[in-house]
Amino acid sequence: MSKTKEVKAKEPLFHIVARDVMHPGASFGIRVAAFVVALLLSALFVWVTVKVDLITFLKTMFRGAFGMDKVFEAEGFENAWTALLSSYMWATLKAAAKLLIIAVALGPAFKMRFWNVGAEGQVIIGAMAAAFVMYHYSTMPGPLLLLVMLVVSILAGGIWGLIPAFFKTKLNTNETLFTLMMNYIAMKIADYFYNLWRGAKSALGMINQTSRAGWLRSLWSGKDAAWFRNEDLWFMIIVLVFTVLMFFYLKSTKQGYEIAVVGESHNTARYAGISVTKVMLRTMAISGAICGICGFLLVSSQSHTINSAMAGGFGFTAIIVAWLSKFNSFTMIGTSVLIVALQNGSMLMANTYSDRGFSPSAADVIVAIMLLMVIGCEFFIKYRVMFKHSAKEAKA
Amino acid sequence: MIIWIQKAISFAAFIMLAALGELLSERSGSLNLGTPGTLCVGASVGFITAFNYCKSVETPNMFELLVLILLSSFAAGAIMGIIFAFFTVSLRINQNVVGLVMTILGTGLAEFLSVYFIESTTGNVRCDPAYYLFTAKIPFLSDKLGIVSDLLFNYGFMFYVTIVLAVVMMLFLNRTRAGLNLRSVGENPGTADAAGISVSKYRYLAAGIGSGISGLAGIYCVLEFKSGAWATSDIITIEAFGWLAVALVIFAMWKPLNLLWGSFVFGICYWAYLYLPNLLGVKMSDDLTRMLPYIITIVVLIVVSLRKKKENLGPEALGLSYFREER
Amino acid sequence: MAEQNTQITAIRIQNVTKSFGTKVVANKDVTMDIYRGEILSLLGENGSGKTTLMNMLAGIYFPDSGEIFVNGKPVSIRSPYDAHALGIGMIHQHFKLVDVFTAAENVVLGLKEEGKFNLAAAGKRIKEICDAYGFDIHPEQKVYDMTVSQKQTLEIVKALYRGAEILILDEPTAVLTPQEADKLFSVLRNMKAAGKTVIIITHKLQEVLAISDRVAILRKGEFVGAVPTSEATELSLTEMMVGKKVELNIERPDPVDPTLRLQVRNLSCHNHEGLPVLQNVNFDIYGGEIFGIAGISGCGQKELLEAIAGLQRVDENSEIIYDAPDGKRESLIGKSPKKIKEMGVSLSFVPEDRLGMGLVGSMGMVGNMLLKDYRRGHTPLTETKPSKELAEEVREELEVVTPSLNTPVRRLSGGNVQKVLVGREIAAAPAVLLTAYAVRGLDINTSYTIYHLLNEQKKKGVAVVYVGEDLDVLLALSDKILVLCGGKVSGLVDARTTTKEEIGYLMTNLPEEVHTDAKPEEAAKEDGQQ
């Protein structure tokens, strides 16, 4: 016989319900609030550790992020341009561009709900391919060499993206773990060539230092204006072009539409006659290819060399950017600038107060605190916390 | 050859310890990509504690030192795990995203704390008492048994702790009620919830304790593998070991006992470039052999999904937040 | 059987009401008794509130009002755990099992027993339970190695292990083969012999008569009555279940010039578990008529429509032939939806799972209008202009209430979601329109809008297939009604002359000899196109 015991109803203190969709203004407000809280928390961290007050903290952060010392004071465009190039602002924009293009590359994959955490590796393998061509075929005519570099980068990155996608579609292999592993394989390949080419030297240095073969700037002659010959500028412009293209690719093309449907429901995709396998393979090839292009740009216009740390962890940070931006390329611009600004601002903090025990790594800590807050606030955008009222306790 | 195996084993041990922590967390359904960061924090906090303790007393009491080191590393790791759990379980944020941020936080924090509390930004810092403590070998067994001594008894106490822990973990997961509950949470949180098991509680505990164990692996790595020397430049190496530990969990197909030989295989690969060329008489790059663990992990990943044997595919709910639908 | 009952009340449900949201009342003022040691069948059509009522006993839902007494004492069952404590165990249609665990591990999962954790001892007790009732599962067996029937058995063992005295089974035979069902019944009889109370939720009359002592009938959420099985016949039960015919004011224009549009021959298919879900289904559909399909849910309706739409893999020898209005004949077998569209077959499909299959929840009306036509145009860009116009048109004509054309359709109410879906499918000017449960969950007004739209299509000469669950509607709307029972055709009737009872009977009974009007020779000619 069953025991008839009085069952006391235990009501939880609060319960959580999913929101439909929050008003865009409100969700923006929450994000701003989270950001402010994060700034204050970081300020507190800074205050406790190195006794720097809030105002100085904010000032230093801002200067480190967007400082344009001597740019406006400079006389004439040429001088202002030179000052800009060495300003904090320029460094931020440059790094943001690098972060942005990787995030843009991840956009379509994530929109399709394919967890590509392999961007780091896809960038490195793209860079590696470009560097390989640059190293071994430096005698090719400049433009052709760059073109070949570009093509092999696209192929390398694309293949690096396709491999996990292939196994995902065929065997339903876990793509997160797979792409994660692919990162390290790419890094080790880069290490291998780095050490191979380095030979007995202590470091590889820039490839084709004297001939500048395969350098983006080799395309321009000395007659062009200084700003026009700036490789960073071209890097940023190309990144922006990709950002705009990706935005419209996802928004206005048939393929972009297919990605959206596949990401939403495989059943609906089948219903609409969309081949999930095909879309998945194609999208990952594109995602990897853009990472490959990023690798090409890094080699041809930024580092002119190769090493396993050349993506600088941006392949991982870009995941956070893409996720926070809800896969919208334009939102990614702001998010990338913001994250890099935080990084660079904190870096200046760290450098300024290194005598008080701050190290560059303090920058990582500040950035991580900020990211945790901004990520955490997504919860409040997606869910509503409801406290139980005693009214519900009324006797049934 | 024997040195190779020895080195492989001592490498294997701390990777295995780190992997044990990650494994516990993954069996509860949390793919904690913050483990590399956790490893660094554990290493840093543990070393800072040891260093400052040794500085503060004339002759360090070995027992106190041991307890302090283990406790601080574990606690530091556990805090990392609990933060991870708070964001992924309570706030239901994507595990990959949170994990990656935790790794940024962990590596940053590790370096920051070490610079802040040890007050030396460059070069190696040593803490010899702690080093001796961790590398002390078992008398008699370690030198009187010939090759057996060389291969099996030539390591510090953590090696044996790690092996015991792997067995304990296996027993816990397979033979206890809590272990059963934990696995059910990782496999099918909906069913676990319906059976009255608190999904949140188990995920918090698994992430906390698991990360604590990973934290221990961090200090173990510094004090034994890195020979008791600490430099902030090592953090990047430790982080890389953390990723290797994540790979190892997959390679071991989420089973604690598989870690025993899996980590050994990783260790062999790691050192292969030093010894294999001599044995085979070929030139070999360390970079390529160190790539092997990742490649074989992928092969394992593919093979298990090919065989479709359910136990080997990993916890079914790995990486997924759980949200009970309320009507 | 019934007269041997001592008739001690085990559970009393008193004036229980439960509603979801503001519109749907699942149970209305239900009062009924369940006696100790009996096998009670809870009978009713789909959506009659059987499962909801039982879920309240199992602690899944909590009643809005009313009381539940167990062994005479009022109880409050707020969780499955409370239900266990009261000796109530429910076996749901979706099993709550961990696949990689053994039977024993699943059984002890979540139990807060005192003492050492001992799987071996638990295994022994499980073995005892299995032996006592004749279950064929082994404690060491992994769930993923089990058949559906074994999984169900395991759920029963789980309940018994927890000391259940009252066992509720939700449509237990729906997933079983006839042989397995027989085995289940003998087990249930053993349990009754051991003094347990068993409630089975079902809508299969033969089962009711075969196994139960008493039948309780629910209709549209209300308790209709309970009768001893010995006094019931299939006919009397059908009448109680379906109720008196309700006259609905749905227009039914006579078919104008019906022309053969779709021939289905020997259609068979299997589900993932390898069980047959459709067996040798044959019928013809004509343009200008509404072809109703009736049947208990899960009798192959979904697969039937999806097979026609190119979404379901079918067995060899199955044939689906499309006769275009211009006289061309095409086989649809083995063609993807995309292929079917490219062949110029204008087929529209309103699937049962609106947001999971027919629409993209995160997109607005415009994006959803694009779903089937996004390939339009020769550029790589999507052409949204026609879709925008269409969305505007659909919104206006069907009075879709939405904040904007770009508001994610997931946020719209059920009725509006369905209008968007139906609107799009009709706008494609189909020759065949397949609809599955087109009015499920909709209010009366929207339902009538949908009926009207279907009739409009019919007048245009479209072959409309209407899979429905409300027999009154089927009778009032359709021209012909095909009745499915367990994946087979149990009858094809003229909707104007048939009765509700006849359909109700066919839904639960397979005639001895399934008569078909297959014309194999004729159909075979079209085979070459595959």
Residues of C within 8 A of A1 (CB-CB) are: 71, 87, 165
- Is C180 found in the same domain as C312? no
Q: How far apart are the first and last CA of chain B?
A: 64
The answer, yes or no, to whether residue B232 has pLDDT greater than 90, is no
Q: What are the pLDDT digits (tens) for A75-121?
A: 878 888 888 888 888 889 999 999 999 999 999 999 998 989 999 99
List of chains touching A (3+ CB pairs within 8 A): B, C
CA distance B143 to B135: 14
A392 is a domain residue: no
- Measured on CA atoms in the order A15, A19, A24, A28, is the torsion positive or negative? positive
3-state secondary structure of C268: strand
What number of other Cβ atoms are within 10 A of residue A215's Cβ? 21
What number of other Cβ atoms are within 10 A of residue C416's Cβ? 20
Q: Which two tokens stand for residue A127?
A: 């860079």
B131 is a domain residue: yes
Residues of B within 8 A of C80 (CB-CB) are: 194-196
Flag if A2 and C86 touch (Cβ within 8 Å): yes
**Residues B112 and B229 sit within 8 Å (Cβ to Cβ):** no
Task: Tell me the pLDDT band of B63, cut-offs 50, 70 and 90.
Answer: confident
B310: contact with C, CB 8 A cutoff: yes
Four-point Cα dihedral C117, C119, C124, C130, nearest 10:
120
Residues of A within 8 A of B97 (CB-CB) are: 319-320, 323, 375
B40 is a domain residue: yes
The answer, yes or no, to whether residue B190 has pLDDT greater than 50, is yes
Question: What is the pairing mode between strands C432-436 and C463-467?
Answer: parallel
Four-point Cα dihedral C422, C425, C427, C429, nearest 10:
-130
Per-residue model confidence as pLDDT tens for chain C (530 residues): 444 445 788 899 999 998 876 666 788 899 999 999 899 999 887 778 888 899 899 888 888 889 999 988 999 888 888 888 899 999 988 888 998 899 999 998 888 776 677 888 888 989 988 888 888 888 888 988 888 888 988 999 998 888 889 999 988 887 777 778 888 888 889 888 888 999 998 877 778 888 899 999 998 888 988 999 988 887 788 888 877 766 677 888 888 788 888 899 999 998 877 778 899 999 999 988 999 999 877 788 888 999 998 888 888 888 888 888 777 888 888 888 888 888 888 889 999 888 889 899 888 899 999 888 888 888 888 888 888 999 999 888 888 888 888 888 888 877 888 889 999 998 888 889 999 988 877 777 788 888 988 998 999 889 999 998 888 888 889 999 999 888 889 889 998 888 888 888 888 777 654 444 444 444 344 443 33
Based on its alpha-carbon atoms, the radius of gyration of chain B, rounded to whole angstroms, reads: 20
- Is C528 found in the same domain as C439? yes
Smallest CA–CA distance from C17 into chain A, residue: A396
- Is C104 found in the same domain as C206? yes
Flag if C109 and B175 touch (Cβ within 8 Å): no
**Residues A272 and C374 sit within 8 Å (Cβ to Cβ):** yes
Measure in Å the smallest separation between the Cα of A92 and chain C Cα atoms: 35
C155: contact with B, CB 8 A cutoff: no
CA distance B247 to B250: 5
**Residues B216 and B262 sit within 8 Å (Cβ to Cβ):** no
Q: What are the pLDDT digits (tens) for A171-217?
A: 888 888 899 889 989 998 998 888 888 887 887 778 877 777 777 77
Task: Tell me the pLDDT band of B119, cut-offs 50, 70 and 90.
Answer: low
C100: contact with B, CB 8 A cutoff: yes
Query: SS3 for chain A, per residue?
Result: CCCCCCCCCCCCCEEEEECCCCCHHHHHHHHHHHHHHHHHHHHHHHHHHHCCCHHHHHHHHHHHHHCCCCCCCCCHHHHHHHHHHCCHHHHHHHHHHHHHHHHHHHHHHHHCCCCCCCHHHHHHHHHHHHHHHHHHCCCCCHHHHHHHHHHHHHHHHHHHHHHHHHHHHHHCCCHHHHHHHHHHHHHHHHHHHHHHHHCCCCCCCCCCCCCCCCCHHHHCCCCCCCCCCCHHHHHHHHHHHHHHHHHHHHHHEHHHHHHHHHHHCHHHHHHCCCCHHHHHHHHHHHHHHHHHHHHHHHHHHHHCCCCCCCCCCHHHHHHHHHHHCCCCHHHHHHHHHHHHHHHHHHHHHHHHCHHHCCCCHHHHHHHHHHHHHHHHHHHHHHEEEEECCHHHHCCC
Residues of B within 8 A of C144 (CB-CB) are: 310
- Is C440 found in the same domain as C339? yes
CATH of the domain at B199: 1.10.3470
Query: SS3 for A123-177, per residue?
Result: HHHHHHHHHHHHHHCCCCCHHHHHHHHHHHHHHHHHHHHHHHHHHHHHHCCCHHH
B320 is a domain residue: no
3-state secondary structure of C87: coil
A25 is a domain residue: no
B168 is a domain residue: yes
Closest in C101, C117, C142 to B176, CB measured: C117
Smallest CA–CA distance from B311 into chain C, residue: C100
How far is residue B213 from each of residues B15, B42, B185, C39, C141, measured CA to CA in Å?
11, 9, 20, 54, 33
Residues of B within 8 A of C109 (CB-CB) are: 180-181, 184, 191-192, 195, 197
Residues of B within 8 A of C81 (CB-CB) are: 196
Residues of A within 8 A of C166 (CB-CB) are: 2
Measure in Å the smallest separation between the Cα of A368 and chain B Cα atoms: 5
Flag if A272 and C85 touch (Cβ within 8 Å): no
The answer, yes or no, to whether residue B192 has pLDDT greater than 70, is yes
Residues of A within 8 A of B254 (CB-CB) are: none
Residues of C within 8 A of A267 (CB-CB) are: 353, 356-357
DSSP codes joined into one string, B232-285? GGGHHHHHHHHHHHHHHHHHTTT-HHHHHHHHHHHHHHHHHHHHHHHHHT----
**Residues C347 and C323 sit within 8 Å (Cβ to Cβ):** no
Residues of B within 8 A of C117 (CB-CB) are: 175-177, 180
Closest in A9, A20, A261 to C78, CB measured: A9
CA distance C409 to C395: 12
Task: Tell me the pLDDT band of B4, cut-offs 50, 70 and 90.
Answer: confident
The answer, yes or no, to whether residue B1 has pLDDT greater than 80, is no
**Residues B23 and B186 sit within 8 Å (Cβ to Cβ):** no
Beta strand residue intervals within chain B, DSSP E: 125-126, 229-230
Strand partners, C218: C223
Burial class (CB in 10 A: 0-12, 13-18, 19+), C282: buried
CA distance A96 to A333: 8
A237 is a domain residue: yes
Flag if A192 and B103 touch (Cβ within 8 Å): no
Across the A:C interface, residue pairs with CB atoms under 8 Å apart total 108
Averaged pLDDT for residues A245-250: 93
Closest in A4, A7, A268 to C357, CB measured: A268
Strand partners, C278: C269
Domain that holds residue A294: 76-220+227-328
CA distance A114 to A106: 9
The answer, yes or no, to whether residue B54 has pLDDT greater than 70, is yes
In chain B, % of residues over pLDDT 70: 91
CA distance B126 to B114: 13
B177: contact with C, CB 8 A cutoff: yes
Smallest CA–CA distance from A273 into chain C, residue: C338
- Is C174 found in the same domain as C107? yes
**Residues A80 and A72 sit within 8 Å (Cβ to Cβ):** yes
Flag if C81 and B327 touch (Cβ within 8 Å): no
Task: Tell me the pLDDT band of A18, cut-offs 50, 70 and 90.
Answer: low
Average pLDDT, chain B: 85
Closest in B101, B240, B302 to A173, CB measured: B302
- Is C340 found in the same domain as C472? yes
DSSP codes joined into one string, C310-352? T-S---TT-EEEEE-TTS-EEE-TT--HHHHHHTT--EEEE-S
C85 is a domain residue: yes
What number of other Cβ atoms are within 10 A of residue C167's Cβ? 23
Residues of B within 8 A of A182 (CB-CB) are: 294, 298
Flag if A396 and C67 touch (Cβ within 8 Å): yes
Task: Tell me the pLDDT band of A2, cut-offs 50, 70 and 90.
Answer: very low
Residue C519 confidence (pLDDT): 41
Flag if A372 and B250 touch (Cβ within 8 Å): no
How far is residue B46 from each of residues B14, B81, B245, measured CA to CA in Å?
15, 16, 19
The answer, yes or no, to whether residue B326 has pLDDT greater than 60, is no
Residues of B within 8 A of C100 (CB-CB) are: 183, 187, 310-311, 316
Residues of A within 8 A of B298 (CB-CB) are: 178, 181-182, 185
Flag if C70 and A9 touch (Cβ within 8 Å): no
Burial class (CB in 10 A: 0-12, 13-18, 19+), B126: middle
Smallest CA–CA distance from A255 into chain C, residue: C380
Range scoring the smallest mean pLDDT among B15-29, B161-175, C177-191, C304-318: C177-191
Axis crossing angle, helix B235-251 with helix B2-27, rounded to the nearest 10: 70
Number of domains in chain C: 3
- Report ipTM (2 d.p.): 0.84
The answer, yes or no, to whether residue B34 has pLDDT greater than 90, is yes
Element (H, E) at C488: strand C488-494
Smallest CA–CA distance from C80 into chain A, residue: A7
A15 is a domain residue: no
Closest in B183, B190, B327 to C20, CB measured: B327
- Measured on CA atoms in the order C143, C145, C147, C149, is the torsion positive or negative? negative
Residue A9 confidence (pLDDT): 41
Residue C229 amino acid letter: T
CA distance C505 to C233: 11
Strand partners, C290: C464
List of chains touching B (3+ CB pairs within 8 A): A, C
Residue finishing a domain among C218, C242, C266: C242
- Runs of H (alpha helix) within C38-91: 50-58, 80-85
Q: What are the pLDDT digits (tens) for A115-134?
A: 899 999 999 999 999 999 98
- Is C311 found in the same domain as C392? no
Smallest CA–CA distance from C120 into chain B, residue: B175
- Is C288 found in the same domain as C193? no
Residues of B within 8 A of C18 (CB-CB) are: none
Number of domains in chain B: 1
Based on its alpha-carbon atoms, the radius of gyration of chain C, rounded to whole angstroms, reads: 25
The answer, yes or no, to whether residue A375 has pLDDT greater than 70, is yes
DSSP codes joined into one string, B153-166? S-S-HHHHHHHHHH
3-state secondary structure of C113: coil
- Is C481 found in the same domain as C386? no
List of chains touching C (3+ CB pairs within 8 A): A, B
Flag if B294 and A364 touch (Cβ within 8 Å): no
Q: What are the pLDDT digits (tens) for A348-361?
A: 888 888 777 777 77
- Is C322 found in the same domain as C392? no
C256 is a domain residue: yes
What number of other Cβ atoms are within 10 A of residue A380's Cβ? 18
Which residue, among C90, C24, C18, has the nearest Cα to C54 in the 3D structure?
C90
Averaged pLDDT for residues A143-165: 93
Residue C149 confidence (pLDDT): 84
A306 is a domain residue: yes
A36 is a domain residue: no
Domain that holds residue B183: 2-315
Measure in Å the smallest separation between the Cα of B101 and chain A Cα atoms: 6
Closest in A313, A369, A379 to B93, CB measured: A379
Residue C81 amino acid letter: Y
A315 is a domain residue: yes
CA distance C464 to C426: 11
Element (H, E) at C481: strand C480-485
**Residues B101 and A375 sit within 8 Å (Cβ to Cβ):** yes
Axis crossing angle, helix B256-280 with helix B2-27, rounded to the nearest 10: 150
Burial class (CB in 10 A: 0-12, 13-18, 19+), A268: buried
CA distance C6 to C37: 9
3-state secondary structure of C31: strand
Averaged pLDDT for residues B6-31: 90
- Is C403 found in the same domain as C342? no
B327 is a domain residue: no
Flag if C144 and B310 touch (Cβ within 8 Å): yes
Mutation for C interface: B188, B326, B327, most C CBs within 10 A: B188
Domain that holds residue C25: 2-242
Residue C291 confidence (pLDDT): 93
Flag if C75 and A7 touch (Cβ within 8 Å): yes
Residue C527 confidence (pLDDT): 41
A56 is a domain residue: no
CA distance B318 to C453: 46
C351 is a domain residue: no
Measure in Å the smallest separation between the Cα of A341 and chain C Cα atoms: 32
Locus of tokens 């809590």: B178
Number of domains in chain A: 1
B324 is a domain residue: no
Axis crossing angle, helix A142-171 with helix A175-198, rounded to the nearest 10: 150
